[in-house]
Every structure is written in C-alpha cells, then in structure tokens.
Structure 1
Amino acid sequence: MPNIDRLEIAKFDADGMLEKILKFPQQLSHALELAKSRKVSLNNEIIQNICVCGMGGSAIGGDLVRSCFNDYIDIPFSVNRYYRVPNFINENSLVIVCSYSGNTEETLAAYEDAHQRKAQIVCVTSGGLLSAKAASNNHPVFSVPSGYPPRSALGYLLVPILYCLFSTGKISDPEQSILETIEVLENLAAEYDPDENDNLAKQISRSLKRKIPLIYASVAGFEPVTWRWKGQLSENSKVLAFGNVFPELNHNEIMGWGPLDEINKKFQVIYLTDRGDDFQAGRRMELTRKIVEKHTVDSIIEIKSQGESLLTRLFSLIFLGDMVSLYLAVENQVDPTLIENINFLKQGLLSA
C-alpha cells in the first residue's frame, strides 16, 4: 500500500482509533489528575498481599505495575485473570478490581469471591454492575470516563492502581514517572503521526503484512509489553500474534526454529530491548538471532525503549506497538475498533 495518510486511515477507522492512540498522553494526564483527587482510606497496617483482578485491557495495568515495582513492593503482588481469586486472599489482602465496563463476567465473579473472603477491595471502573456492587458494599471506587474500548483506556486503568499502592505506602509517589511518560509519548505521537511519511510505525506495519508477528522481549519484566503488542495486533489488526521473553524462550521455544522452514518463513520476529538489559541477556539475544535468521527470510526488527524511568521505557514500546497495530489494520483493510469474534463469544455465553 502507498504511504498511509489520514485519508486512507479514515476509510477503515470509523470510530477514531487513531485519535484515541495519538491522544493517549492527554489520557495519562487526565488520569493523573483524577487519581490525585481521589483519596482512598485503607487499613494499611494489616495488608499482607495485593491482588489485581481483571481481564484483557483491564488487567494489563496490573502487569505493568508489577513489572515496574516488583523490586520495591515488599509483600506478594499478583494479577488474577479468573472467576475466583487465589485461595490465600483473606481479610489481610488488598484486592484491586479492574473492569473498564464494569460488566466483565470473570471480574464480577472475582469481586464477589474477594468480598466473601472479607478482603479490602478497591474498584477501578467506568460504571456497570461493578460500580453498583461497590456502592452497595461501601467499597471505594476510582471512577474513570466511559466511551473507550477497554484496550484504549490503559491510562485510566493503570494510574489508579499506582495511586492505590502509593496510598498504602508500598511504592513512592509515581507522579514524576507519569509526567516523564507523558512528555516522551507526546514526542513519539508527533514522530509516528500519519503526516510523517515512512515513520518507524509505518515501516514496521509494512514488514508485518502477510506475516505472523512474533514478539520477543529482552527480559522477563517486559513480558506485559509483549502481551500488549500481541493483543493490539490481534484486536486492532485482526492477525494472530505471539510473544515470549528471554531467557525462558531459550529453554524451549528456540527448538521450534528447526527444519520446517516453509512455516518459519511466515514469521516476522521483533526484538523489544531496553537499556537495562544485562550483558548475559544481550549475548542470548545475539546467539538466538543467528538461529532465527538462519530459518527465516526476514531480518529481526529490533526496537529500543526510550526514557529514563522504567514506566516510561515500557510505555515507549507500548505506544509504538499501538501505532503499528493501527497502521497494520489499514494495510489489512480492516476496522481497528470492531471486535466481532469477541462479541459473538459474549452473546453465546449470555444465551447459553
């Protein structure tokens, strides 16, 4: 496809996914303003573990918080994607329940389970049944604006988790990291704008056309970024995508790069790297590159994170992935907002 401009995007993007992505820095800014104005009162003295409950776009905020602050939070921190909470949840637990719509089946069930176990509960939602249940049970709520696909509301879903943890004293004030992230993403939004011909996001989207994206992150802490990339490529671009992290993939997946070259050639591998990568991780990536490129027709695309704080570096890669997914949707001539398969599944579950 010729250079993708706004006119070409408009043919497929009826619901404005492009603008939602480009305006993500403003969303982060608004989310920061909202979170700072909401004071949550918790019994911090008895909190012995923290669990974030959610699904899809409403859960990844918890994953990112865990990646950013795993070295600082001195009690167990988990992310739960299921109908029930872990068995260790009790009155000494803090459970943060995230459902953008407020109507996510699994998350509502997890909320009820946590409530039965007498956990301290904080909810993050735009409304729905979760908001009503929280009001009925006097559980504090971070209310966020409605009208977004959940995957486009990551800022609204992430920042309240950060400020909830800050209120417990388990992490330091996240404001400076958020402000740096906003600044870096504003610059990247200008860089990846459709008006910028042949920008990096467009180049990567062209490389992914008629390919199966395979996202490899350099360290385990960046695993949520691989999930975000493959989730956005699936939901926005309507392609299957897969991901893994070093060093785990060197103990199993690496053996898949073998004799079936006709299949392997369908993959486009992307390396997500960070300045915090240690020497051994770098060696693993280079040795793996030699194996992969022996069995594929395309060179590995390597992308480096930008920024100082870990939060900013994670989001610099997430933002690029979001833009790539938008441009690839246009390359594939599909609407980036429509999620027909997910809606079919939901309707089937309701009618069962």
Structure 2
Amino acid sequence: MLPSVATSGAQVRTSHRAALEAGVARLSAEGRPRALVVAGMGGSALAGDMLAAVCGGGVPIPIVTVRSYRLPGWVGAADLVVAVSSSGATEETTALALEAVRRGSRLVTVGRPGSPLAAIAEQSSGLHLPVVPVAGAVGGPRANLWGTTMPLLAMASALGLADIGQDAVEAAAARLEDIAHRCRPSSESFINPGKTLALELAGTIPMIWGTSAIATAAAHRLASQLNVNAKYPAIWGEIPEANHDQIEALDGPLAERDIFGDSPSMGLRLFVLRDLDEHPQVGKRRVNSVRIANDRGVPVSEMTAEGAHPLERLASLVGLADYGSVYLALGFGIDPAPVSAVVELKSRISQ
C-alpha cells in the first residue's frame, strides 16, 4: 500500500492527460447542463465531493454526489450524470448509469477501459474517461483516488466550472511527490508527518473536522482511509455543523481518560483540518472549539492545507491523510490491503 500511495503524484498527471486524450473537451460543445450529478460509492463518490470542493461555492450549477441505487427524482434530460467506478463494475454505480440512460440524461462514465461502465457509455453514445493504471499502484481502488478525481476535474474545466489548468495539475502532483518524500518509510517518526499523524491517531477515537469544503473532503478521506486501511473507527464532520452536535461528545464519557487504570482506555482526540478559504465565522468557531477541547483535556491536532490553488491545497491534506492511515495500520501489525469484511458482504449479497 505504501508504494501505491507514493504514486499519487503520477496518478494526478497520468489521469489528467488520459482524460484530455479521451476527448473530454467535446463536452464544451454540448453546453452546460442544468446540474452535474456524480454517481459512485466509496472513494469514487468522494471524488465527486472533491470535485465540488475544488470548483468552490461560486460554481454556477449544482454538483451533487449520489451514493445509492437510485437517482433523485428531479434528474432528467437537462442534467449530466457522471458514473464513477475505478473498476468500472461497481453494482450501485452501473445501476445508476443505466437509470440515467433511461431518463435521457447526458452520461459520462469514469472507470477501467473495457468495463461494464465503458460498455454502457458506448451503447448510449456517452463519453467514457478511462481510469489508467499507474506503475507501482497495487492497493486497489482506494489507492487510486486521483485516478477517478482528475477525469472529473478535467471535465469541470471543459464545462467552464473550474480553472484546472496544467499549472494547477503540476502543482498538485509536485505537492504529493513532496509528501511522498517526507513520508518515505526510511524517514524517522519525528520528521515524518505521516508517522507523526499515525502516532497521534493510535489509541484514540478520532473526531475529524474540516473548516471548508476542501478541508472537509480531506476529513472524510482520512476517516474512510482509517476504516479501510487500519480497520479503525473515526468520525468526521464540518465546522460549523459539527459545532451543533459532535462537539457535545467533548462532555461525554469518551472524552475522559483514566491514566491510572489497569486496562488501556481509548479517548477522543480532535483533529482539525484547516484551509485558508475558511469563512471568518468558521475561523472563530475553530479557535473556540479547540479551546473547549483543551479545557476538557481532549488533545487536539491541527493540519493546515498548503498551496495557492484549491487542488493543491486539497492534495496537501489528502496526501498526508493517506500516509497516516497506512502507517497506523502497519503500527498495529495490520495489512492495509485486504478488505475482508467488504468481500464477505458482497459474497453474501450475491448468494
């Protein structure tokens, strides 16, 4: 899994180039849709959230991510449905792609060439954007997040929803490569931000909050990667929403630690993912949330997005989150690659 995470920068470049070569620019000639609906599950659905985050609040049309077997009732011929699956064979996603065709929606599919999704796009005269394998990436779909995200960003750029030029793509790739260098296995824990994050996560129940759409997408990514890589529970949310419910957990039993107890205890730890683009009121809420946690003895870790372009800032947080989750798994002696419970559930459903 570590070599797979290390290929993130290459994934950004390769996937963006593949989308351009597949003819994503043709979408501009078809006009802007009423809404853009991303259909996917797991990391593929998160790519839709990342798309919306990078496009920002000024985007002129709704960008909606659907994680289900059914499209919302309002989706129709005026909308663009983008079905995303790294394998191109995810059950829920193929069902949504077929439903989009039946409703007369424009369809773009993102997945492995020659997959069921690619066939649906071909049969409906839709556009298929390939998920291209990168040498060294062997960790499954969750280790190829940028392979599904970059085609969406290339599509958004073609539709005039975001400015994702080559400079932004290169800045994000370079940022991920810098993280890979600093988080390399030979780097000691005290100078390795991925190992440091894993140490802060270990033995805690992480409550992860983002302060902007970009930071929240990264918070979701960190929680999901902890689940699948380290088999570890986590809670994620966004300020200000988290200040209306999750913050109350700071007054609960899991916020207390019995440091003199005979058995190990797990308590909350607050992780705040920060972004330069946070609303002024969110900034005030963040500062005071941290103070409230400190007042109750709940440890706090803060991670700040780096870079000028939204894509680079997102990459700076996601890259670190991916490494932290893998190092936490390895610290517990867990192989992060298998997803046994997911495979077992799929097997039971298919019977």
Question: Given the two structures, how large is their TM-score scaled by the length of structure 1?
Answer: 0.89
Whether contact under 8 Å (1:74, 1:170) holds in the other structure is: yes
- Which residue of the partner structure matches residue 282 of structure 1? 283
How far the C-alpha of 1:275 sits from its partner, in A, is: 2.2
> What is the distance in 1 between the residues matched to 2:94 and 2:83?
8
Give the Cα separation in 1 of the matches to 2:290 and 2:95. Answer: 44
Shift of 1:290: 2.4
**Inter-partner Cα distance in structure 2 for 1:79 and 1:112:** 17
Match of 2:10 among 26, 29, 51: 26
Kept in 2: contact 1:219–1:246 (CA 8 A): yes
Does the aligned pair in 2 maintain the 1:53–1:95 contact within 8 Å? yes
Aligned with residue 253 of structure 1, among 233, 242, 246: 246
1:155-234 to structure 2, matched below 5 A, reads 155-198=146-189, 199-234=192-227
CA–CA distance in structure 2, aligned partners of residues 132 and 220 of structure 1: 33
Mapped contact 2:215–2:305 kept (Cα < 8 A): no
Query: Counterpart in 1 of 2:111?
Result: 125
Q: Distance in 1 between matches of 2:109 and 2:254?
A: 48
Q: 2: distance between equivalents of 1:122 and 1:268?
A: 41
Q: Tell whether the 8 Å contact from 2:157 to 2:163 is kept in structure 1 after alignment.
A: yes
Q: Deviations over 1:63-93 (max 9, x none)?
A: 1110111334212221111111111211111
Pairwise CA distance, 1:276: 2.4
Residue type of the alignment partner of 2:347: Q
Rounded Cα–Cα distance in structure 2 between residues aligned with 1:218 and 1:173: 22
Contact kept in structure 2, 1:220 and 1:246, CA below 8 Å: no
Contact 2:15 2:132 in 1 (8 A): no
**Distance in 1 separating the partners of 2:90 and 2:252:** 43
Are the equivalent residues in 2 in contact too, given 1:72–1:171 (CA < 8 A)? no
Return the alpha-carbon distance in structure 2 between the equivalents of residues 123 and 250 of structure 1: 37
Deviation at 1:173, TM superposition (A): 4.0
Find the counterpart in structure 2 of residue 268 from structure 1: 269
Separation in structure 1 between the aligned mates of residue 41 and residue 30 of structure 2, nearest angstrom: 26
* Distance in 2 of aligned mates of 1:346 and 1:290: 44
Secondary structure of 1:193's counterpart equals coil
Of 59-68 and 132-141, more deviation after overlay is shown by 132-141
Equivalenced residue count is 334
Secondary structure of residue in 1 paired with 2:271: strand
SS in 2 for 1:212: strand
The CA deviation string for residues 256-279 of structure 1, in whole angstroms up to 9 with x for no partner, is 221525667612211111222344
Moved >4 Å (runs of 4+)? 261-265
Which residue identity lines up with residue 215 of structure 1 in the other structure? I
Question: Match for residue 96 of structure 2?
Answer: 110
Q: Residues 198-229 of structure 1: CA distance to partner in whole angstroms, max 9, x if unpaired?
A: 21211221122222221111234422111100
Letter of the structure 1 residue corresponding to residue 292 of structure 2 = I
1:36 maps to which residue? 20
> Where does structure 2 lack aligned partners over 5 or more consecutive residues?
258-265
CA contact (8 A) 1:219 1:247 kept: no
Partner of 1:78: 64
In structure 2, what is the Cα distance between the partners aligned to 1:255 and 1:144?
Answer: 42
CA shift digits 1:140-163 (9 cap, x unpaired): 111223565111111110111112
Match of 1:11 in 2: none
1:45 maps onto 2:38 in alignment: no
Could you list the runs of 5+ residues in structure 1 that have no partner in the other structure? Answer: 1-16
Question: Cα–Cα, structure 1 residues 312 and 153, in superposed 2: closer, same or farther, change >3 Å?
Answer: same
TM-score with structure 2 length normalisation?
Answer: 0.90
Deviation string, structure 1 residues 230-262 (Cα, Å, up to 9, x no partner): 000110111011111111111222222215256
Quick one: which amino acid aligns to residue 310 of structure 1?
P
Alignment partner, residue 131 of structure 2: 144
Q: 1:279 to 1:71 in 2, by over 3 A?
A: closer
User: 2:215, 2:317 within 8 Å by CA — same for their partners in 1?
Assistant: no
Percent identity, please: 27
2-structure distance, mates of 1:160, 1:207: 34
The aligned counterpart of 2:315 is: 315
Letter in 2 for 1:87: G
Q: Is the 8 A contact 1:216 1:226 kept in 2?
A: yes
**What's the counterpart of residue 260 of structure 2?**
none
